[in-house]
Amino acid sequence: MSSPWRKRLYRIIFHHDTEAGRAFDIVLLWLILLSVSAVVLESVPAIRARWGPALYTVEWAFTLLFTLEYVLRLSCVPSPVRYATSFYGLVDVLSILPTYLSLLIPGAQSLLVLRAFRLLRVFRVLKLGQHVGQARSLVVALKRSREKITVFLAVVLTIVVIVGTAMYLIEGEGNGFTSIPISIYWAIVTLTTVGYGDIAPRTVPGQMLASVLMIVGYGVLAVPTGIVTVELSRVGRAMEAEIACPGCGMSTHDADAIHCKRCGARLPVEPSPQP
Amino acid sequence: MSSPWRKRLYRIIFHHDTEAGRAFDIVLLWLILLSVSAVVLESVPAIRARWGPALYTVEWAFTLLFTLEYVLRLSCVPSPVRYATSFYGLVDVLSILPTYLSLLIPGAQSLLVLRAFRLLRVFRVLKLGQHVGQARSLVVALKRSREKITVFLAVVLTIVVIVGTAMYLIEGEGNGFTSIPISIYWAIVTLTTVGYGDIAPRTVPGQMLASVLMIVGYGVLAVPTGIVTVELSRVGRAMEAEIACPGCGMSTHDADAIHCKRCGARLPVEPSPQP
Amino acid sequence: MSSPWRKRLYRIIFHHDTEAGRAFDIVLLWLILLSVSAVVLESVPAIRARWGPALYTVEWAFTLLFTLEYVLRLSCVPSPVRYATSFYGLVDVLSILPTYLSLLIPGAQSLLVLRAFRLLRVFRVLKLGQHVGQARSLVVALKRSREKITVFLAVVLTIVVIVGTAMYLIEGEGNGFTSIPISIYWAIVTLTTVGYGDIAPRTVPGQMLASVLMIVGYGVLAVPTGIVTVELSRVGRAMEAEIACPGCGMSTHDADAIHCKRCGARLPVEPSPQP
Amino acid sequence: MSSPWRKRLYRIIFHHDTEAGRAFDIVLLWLILLSVSAVVLESVPAIRARWGPALYTVEWAFTLLFTLEYVLRLSCVPSPVRYATSFYGLVDVLSILPTYLSLLIPGAQSLLVLRAFRLLRVFRVLKLGQHVGQARSLVVALKRSREKITVFLAVVLTIVVIVGTAMYLIEGEGNGFTSIPISIYWAIVTLTTVGYGDIAPRTVPGQMLASVLMIVGYGVLAVPTGIVTVELSRVGRAMEAEIACPGCGMSTHDADAIHCKRCGARLPVEPSPQP
């Protein structure tokens, strides 16, 4: 059954290197955006009251369209079982199932919001961007920062647990710090400088500890920014430079360099990385 | 009708390279600032009660002045129709129209705040700054960061829609998360670390998801900063060495360049830039 | 009594360079995490009501386990008195004492939260990470930034005291600014962009001063980030090129170094670090 | 009257290069800190009730001490009138006057908080730090960023005025946006991610505009950080390097370099900038 028709369909749906494949991705992303917008709008009481029936029709149209897409995917993929049990395969099913379930169970429709997870496909389209060059350096920099950011998160969590526990002891249950988990939640809200104000220290020692936490948070905020900036800068420099000069061997040239900036020799033409 | 008088006026009003042109820009900017201040102050009930008549006179004075300026602009511009339909042309009309309309329709005056849009002219004066060099590198860096920031915004919007939807399901309508758009608004308020506190999670799973969102927001905040810093640094390095190449005239060389990277000509030795 | 058994135990418990020592550290960290989780969960009224007896058993199990660990530490350490009076020695005692005290004094159990301080041991395990290289550069960068960050903190505290005092005079006791310490607390909440909103200026001059403080805070936020980024970048560059000098053995050379900057010996050509 | 005694006193009080001068600065700073603390504590109702008389004595002691210091300053300075009318001279008078005035006018004591401005002397002591090298690069970097930050502030103020005006029109007076200045205050609170929540948009278009403002603020926050980081990095690099290599002339050496990293020649010994 590995007909050329199936192969072509597979290439269009799952690859991003053909004209048709790219068009398919863009159209799919717009459909997902529109369907998510419909679900989002339907949750507003005023809009549901007025446009309810129309949105119901739209919902069924998108469900049928995505069902068709799902069937096409299963029919052209080499191993349908493997796709159906993959992350994107499950998200695909979850994004159409609630509409069908709503025929049997009345409330199931509200699960349609699971469709929002289909938005994650945007990352697949961003993969296209990787070859454009700009997006790639971002992804590489974030991957390289992973280890340092893990260390950083461990430190942040330790701070948050200790300060949260201390605040539970200091403030007591009367001021909203009713349990240690709530106090830890407050510490996260404060350290990240979000500061809702639904829970706030009322006692003098509590406010002093909070002040210290805030100023620490201020300095701590600097660390992930520093990490990402340095990695981005390093990736940027590495990408600027991958051709050795035939004259002196130096390999750090700007992306737009034609001659070596040290010895003036003409650089070999690179097989155009930026289309 | 292309008299030398018209040409000179055009040069003064629309260009920034003559002494008179620059003076015109500065005076105009001050007038806009003063007129906007008048409108801003008039909106305060206590000030309106006391200085109402004086501010009314001031308003008419500025309106007549800006009307004169608008007529001068139209009279000296090569194509009056094209200017009248351009962005700045429309802003010019919108900033004077409400006062005249208020003679016919009583409430129209409140639209005078549209005059604030004239403040956008500050960007035009900043264009002057471009040639000073400092402001230019900022603009160039932001332009270069555009693509990466677009990717970044796509990721932020996806996060915000998914988390907003999840919070709507978790918290329910009882805790202020009355619809998905409101929940997305809350997610933006939280991710950007603004944290008004008008809507805040009350349930344990809601607070856990919010904590994750805040810590993610913490890391995510690092990305645009990293992008802008790297681009500013790259632009800065390129601008450090503004020596014109004797071969091709290009002036953006790295600080350590000995040869022009475009044509390969040897660069002249710079007379020590750092004293 | 310096038996080889004691020496081996000492090596396992206090050093991190053997297989067994590393395993001990990891197991201990997990036990600390679990025991802290138990204490944290017990503080939630609903959980205490339902799982109280079970958590009571768990608490005693951990206390006995940590008592055993403490005895082992004291028995193998060269100077038991010095360990018992060290920071970690005191934390060890404080983390087991409350359970025993609760047999005598009913309320003493709530002090068990002091166990959270044992989490600080996570930093000891991070020491392992130092040799992995990634975490090390973070620690080095923060140490190098220390001086600049001290200057920065002095400036921030001066701003906060002056603005806090000014707000106390401007807003008065009616608007929540009941004393200068409270006003300073508000200034810290505002400058760090946390912004609880429990205290907020109500008068016009107060809101103007707050606006200036916020915009200053905006710029001030940039300083620690800049400091950490620059130090991280410098450390990163130094670590990029880890070639031992044939003359003096020093291994921190810049990426573009040809000769050792300490002894002047020619460095061996590196076999292409970036693949 | 230019006795050697006066000259020595002048050197101790106004210069920071002698042992005695440095000791004087440190002691003075501690006295200012203590006197400010006394004023700060006295503003707390509970403390005033209990320690009022003691703090009153302390206040008079500090006032007499600072009066003595002021008289000494005037007596040894070359031009007493010029010092008395300088910024620090006025601050000195303002910090002692309220205590004396309180003998005539009862409420004048509360003006003692003006003493907090004496804390600005910390910057004078930081000047000492300039020669240590670490603090200097911070000051230089901030000075160099001045122009770019001015441009940045102009853009921020324009955004804030336009968005504030728009919110006044959108939200109306019912939701707390009672005048344009209040709306501008709200826009600053939001853009700087402080987010008190005392004023927050309630209408759908208002919340949409606020969302846009927050995401813009997110990106805008990156700009000053980028500027300061780049300048700090540039200053750092420039300070690393001020000795020309006698072998090849290259001048970018690390602070700890003994040999040139390019040609291996021994670098001339610098007159030890870091003590």
Determine contact, residues B188/D214, Cβ cutoff 8 Å. yes
- B215 in contact with A at a CB cutoff of 8 Å? yes
- Confidence class of residue D187 from pLDDT cuts 50, 70 and 90? very high
pLDDT for D148: 73
Q: Which residues of chain B make contact with A41, given a CB cutoff of 8 A?
A: 181
Looking at CA atoms only, how far is residue D232 from chain A in angstroms?
13
Q: What is the DSSP string of C57-70?
A: HHHHHHHHHHHHHH
Residue for token pair 């005693």: C60
Task: Please judge whether B180 and A122 are an interchain contact, meaning their C-beta atoms are less than 8 angstroms apart.
Answer: no
User: What pLDDT, in 10s, does the model give residues A122-137?
Assistant: 655 555 544 455 556 6
Q: Is the pTM of this model over 0.90?
A: no
Query: What mean pLDDT value characterizes chain C?
Result: 76
Specify whether the CB–CB gap between A221 and A200 falls below 8 A: no
Which of D144, D151, D193, D235 to substitute to test the interface with B, most B CBs within 10 Å? D151
Give C195's contacts in chain B (Cβ within 8 Å): 194-195
- Does B114 or B64 have the greater pLDDT score? B64
Q: What is the band of A139 on the pLDDT scale with cuts at 50, 70, 90?
A: confident
Model confidence at D115, pLDDT cuts 50, 70, 90, reads: low
What is the distance between the alpha carbons of residues B31 and B54, in angstroms, rounded to a whole number? 17
CB contact under 8 A, A148 and C134: yes
pLDDT greater than 70 at residue D271: no
Contacts of B123 (CB under 8 A, 6+ apart): D155, D158
| Residue B88: per-residue pLDDT | 76
The residue ranking higher by pLDDT, C2 or A146, is A146
* pLDDT higher than threshold 80 for residue A44: yes
| Neighboring chain A residues of C43 at a CB cutoff of 8 Å | 168, 179-181
Given this model, what pLDDT does residue A187 score?
92
**pLDDT, tens digit, for every residue of C70-112?**
888 888 888 888 888 887 788 788 778 877 877 777 666 666 6
Residue of B nearest to A157 (CA): B215
Mean pLDDT of chain B: 76
**Within an 8 Å CB–CB cutoff, is residue D85 touching chain A?**
no
A221: its two tokens: 């905020």
DSSP secondary structure of A100-165 = HHHHHSGGGGGGGGGGGGGGGHHHHHHHHHHTTSHHHHHHHHHHHHHHHHHHHHHHHHHHHHHHHH
Q: Is the pLDDT of residue B107 over 70?
A: no
A192-240 pLDDT tens trace: 888 888 888 888 889 999 999 988 877 777 788 888 888 877 776 665 5
Lowest-confidence pick of A115-119, A260-264, B160-164, D148-152: A260-264
For A126, the token pair is 């961003």
Average pLDDT, chain D: 76
CA distance D229 to chain A (A): 9
Q: Which of B87-101, C212-226, D206-220, D250-264 has the highest mean pLDDT?
A: D206-220
The arithmetic mean of pLDDT across residues D195-222, rounded, is: 85
Instruction: Please answer yes or no on whether A193 and C194 come within 8 Å at the CB atom.
Output: yes
pLDDT at site D270: 43
pLDDT at C117: 67
Share above pLDDT 90 across residues of chain A, in percent, rounded to a whole number: 4
Residue with tokens 């005291």: C161
**Does A73 score more than 80 pLDDT?**
yes
In this predicted structure, what is the pLDDT of residue D139? 72
The interface residues of chain C toward chain B in range 174-203, judged by CB-CB distance below 8 A, are: 193-197
Please determine, for residue D256, whether its predicted confidence score (pLDDT) is greater than 80: no
Q: What is the dihedral of CA C59, C64, C70, C76, to 10 degrees?
A: -150
Work out the pLDDT band at D272, boundaries 50, 70, 90.
Answer: very low
Q: Does B139 touch chain D (CB under 8 A)?
A: no
Cβ separation of C258 and D265 shorter than 8 Å?
no
| Closest by Cβ to C151, choosing from D138, D188, D266 | D138
pLDDT on residue C131: 45
Lowest-confidence region among C235-239, D26-30, D156-160? C235-239
Least CA distance to D231: which residue of chain B? Answer: B233
In chain B, pLDDT over 90 holds for what percent of residues?
Answer: 4
Quick check: ipTM above 0.85? no
Chain A: give the shortest CA distance to residue D97, in Å: 31
- The string of pLDDT tens digits covering residues B150-205 is 777 877 888 888 888 888 888 877 778 888 888 999 999 998 888 888 888 888 88
